[in-house]
Amino acid sequence: MKFLEILKAILLGIVEGITEWLPISSTGHMILLDEFISLDVSPEFMELFLVVIQLGAICAVPVLFWNKLNPFSRKKTAEERRGTWSLWAKVIVGVLPAAIVGVLLDDFFDEHFYNYIVVSIALIVYGVAFILIEKLKKDKPPRIETVYDITYKDALLMGGAQMLSLIPGTSRSGSTILGGMLGGVSRVAAAEFSFFMAIPVMLGASLLKILKFIVAGFTATGAEIALLAIGMAVSFVVSLVAIKFLMDFVKRHSFAPFGIYRIVLGAVVIGYFLIKTYA
């Protein structure tokens, strides 16, 4: 395994760890990154790599939120344990829409929507949406302050919004957070619930991609598996920092800066590929 390939896997892990949690679209960044530092692996394994690397990222969520997510904690009262079970039930309700649509239409979306035009448009549209919603919600107190106060209706609304993340460039966390804020959920509660919903969603997506890879008869070399392990490990460590940063950020600031960043990134992506195509 070449040292350069290890460095590429580390960089991909860093980008995944940051962009998976910030509402800025990991797909948009990965498309640009793939133009410059493609791994020396088969196209089939690269497609697998970009999905399964998320397993490292999602491990950061239970580590950081173990107390909130653990319904068996002896430190919790019986009422608090019931609240934790209720939270998990709402998470399951929230992920059902995207899970059903994802299983049925995963290949369709990959075939028809995974291109720089769709990604660029999604980046820009969602960037504008973040700015507009922040202006709309300015000085209006949220109806839901904490993640425990989220209702099943709120969870279903956020889950419906998360379905839009099947379109590359929208951002899974961005879609979920926007759906929550539109329904009156605070930034902090929406971000936390988005993280919790990521556990079954990203785990399911990774397992589905692995299954398709195996069923199609593809195999991976030892070097490829090692690169994936490195990428996952790096994405886990970086995710710990990224999640802490976002939770601290949204307590004091709006999502508007992320909206501006998305618009700029969308313009960069579409500009780069237009120049590449017609230059």
User: What does R_g of the chain's alpha carbons equal in angstroms?
Assistant: 19
Which pLDDT tens digits describe the chain residue by residue (279 residues)?
689 999 999 999 999 999 999 999 887 788 778 788 888 898 889 888 988 898 999 999 999 999 999 999 989 999 999 999 999 999 999 999 888 887 788 778 878 888 888 889 999 999 999 999 999 888 889 999 999 999 999 999 999 998 888 888 888 899 999 999 999 999 999 999 999 999 998 888 888 889 989 999 988 999 999 999 999 999 999 999 999 999 999 998 999 999 999 999 999 989 998 898 887
User: Position of tokens 């120049």?
Assistant: 275
Q: pLDDT at position 104, please? A: 82
Strand partners for 185: 144
Domain count for the chain, please give it: 1
Token duo for residue 85: 């079970």
Q: pLDDT at position 95, please? A: 92
117's enclosing H/E stretch is: helix 116-137
Q: How far is CA 92 from CA 70, 97, 201, in A?
A: 15, 10, 9
Q: In which domain, by residue range, is 177 found?
A: 3-278
List, in order, residues 6 or more apart from 64 with CB less than 8 Å away. 240, 243, 244
Question: Rounded to 5 degrees, what are φ and ψ at 146?
Answer: -120, 160
**Total count of residues recorded for the chain:** 279
Contact of 201 with 172, CB cutoff 8 Å: yes
Q: Give the Cα separation of 196 and 148 in Å (integer).
A: 12
Q: How far is CA 239 from CA 3, 36, 54, 83, in A?
A: 24, 23, 10, 26
